[in-house]
Amino acid sequence: MVSTGNILVSAPFGFLPDLKNAMEMQFECNFSYGADVSQVKNLLKQNEFDGWLVSPCPTYMIDQFMVDLCPSLKIIATPSTGSNHMDVNYLKEKDIKVFSLRGNEVINKIYASSEFTFNLMISTVRNTPFASQAIKKGNWRNVESQFRGRELNGLNLGIIGHGRIGTNLSRYSLAFGMNVIAYDPHIIIKEKNIKQMDSLDELFKNTDVIVVCVHLNETTYRMINSKSFDKMKDGVIFINTSRGDVIDEESLLENLENGKIRAAGLDVISGEFSADISNHPLIRYARQNNNLIITPHIAGLTYESEEKAQKAAFDAIKDYLTK
């Protein structure tokens, strides 16, 4: 082994043996996927890590206190486009290099999140998970009225954020005969089959299904709020696979309860770092109601996408520490 540094790896690598071996050939590696916050803190205190390849969805926040436990850190890399699990401002203040997939060319070769968003949309429109659960309880067509859905063909789909995921979702949805409307103030959409709206209000009033595909930042924090829901069509389907904090979740719950939103599908919620996530208001609601699907932030979880993402994060650490 040729060691050029000591790195902590809290991202999952058990299903990537070749990449794991390549890492061990380059660095002294401490693989700690599944370690809880106290275990990770102890590792940071007891080792002089040069780099940290973090999990994209840890159960803790990589904050100032945690970073200060390991003064030797030079780079932290996350195999995700999102970085809200890290205090990026403090890391930059400490002159610790931060790497994420956002803006990296590899991201255009990753399709898992786009495919999952499309899958979640279909599942929500057609009530698929609840129909499957009903069968496990001994039911069959006797409960069919609970699961009657809509055809995608002919529905108006509104996509908020037409970046990589939004663009892929448009392509998939057009193939199913949906009418695609999109809002993104940062780009000009050139695809002739997509109608670009000048405002969110226009999108809200013209769509049957709304999908949020934006990055979380200061301008998108709770961009979908009570005023937004008021402007949507009655009986709209709402999907979010971006980040939980782009939604005012209290308003989302209120509109699920009063029927303004026919059904919602979420792969993300606020407070994902909470130790008591099972008591999150949305999860409590989902236990008792069949118009909300929540999945545990798994949009990017495929063998192919994770290998591409984690190799990119590893390469960033290698290039930075060996330059």
pLDDT of residue 54: 97
> Where in the chain are the domains?
6-105+303-321, 111-294
For 199, the token pair is: 């405002």
The confidence score (pLDDT) of residue 202 equals 96
pLDDT number for residue 103:
87
pLDDT of residue 133: 94
| pLDDT given for residue 261 in this prediction | 98
Catalytic residue among 85, 162, 243, 262: 243
Does this chain's domain 6-105+303-321 share its CATH topology with 111-294?
A: yes
pLDDT for residue 323: 82
| Residues in the chain, pLDDT under 50 | 1
Q: Could you say which of 162, 272, 280, 306 is catalytic?
A: 272
Concerning whether 297 is annotated as a catalytic residue, the answer is yes
Is 280 noted as a catalytic residue in this protein?
no
Whether the Cβ atoms of residue 116 and residue 298 lie closer than 8 Å to each other: yes
222 catalytic residue (yes or no): no
pTM here is 0.91
Annotated catalytic residue within 162, 262, 297, 306: 297
Provide the CATH number for the domain formed by 6-105+303-321 in this structure.
Answer: 3.40.50.720
According to the CATH classification, is domain 111-294 in 3.40.50.1700? no
Determine the pLDDT at residue 276.
85
**How many other C-beta atoms can be found within 10 angstroms of the C-beta atom of residue 283?**
15
